[in-house]
Amino acid sequence: MKNFVALGDRLTITAPASITAGAGVLVGTLFGVAEGTATAGAEVVLKLSGVFDLPKTPSEAWTVGAAVHWDATEQRCTTVALGNRLIGAAVLDVGGTPLETVGRVRLNACFGIPVA
């Protein structure tokens, strides 16, 4: 097949701001996890699929299979759909205490539409 370009699970983008390795990055409709650190304007590779431990809203308890959205303002995951972009699903139960700030997410590698 002559028109095949890439598998698409990784994508090199121009960093819209300074990014640290392992951080969630939303660029337009693309969401991924940065494989490296980059300054604004530099190239960085995003991993668009896979399972990642990402920051979450501490007050939210998650159950396996819960829809997970990206809150671009707070730079963390949430189960609140309104105003946020669907990025995947929870793959591990996690509580909602102030100390539980990380959730395990299976990225859906698709481009979700934000809920208005």
Question: Once rounded to an integer, what is the mean pLDDT over residues 87-103?
Answer: 96
pLDDT of residue 53: 98
Cα–chain center distance at 99: 21
Residues in the chain: 116
Question: Is residue 9 predicted with pLDDT exceeding 70?
Answer: yes
Q: What is the C-alpha to C-alpha distance for residues 108 and 95, in angstroms, rounded to an integer?
A: 22
- pLDDT tens sequence across 49-65: 999 999 999 999 999 99
Structure confidence at residue 40 as a pLDDT band (50, 70, 90): very high
Region at 7 (left for phi over 0; alpha for psi -120 to 50; beta for the rest) = alpha
Q: Which is higher by pLDDT, 75 or 109? A: 75
Strands 30-34 and 76-78: unpaired
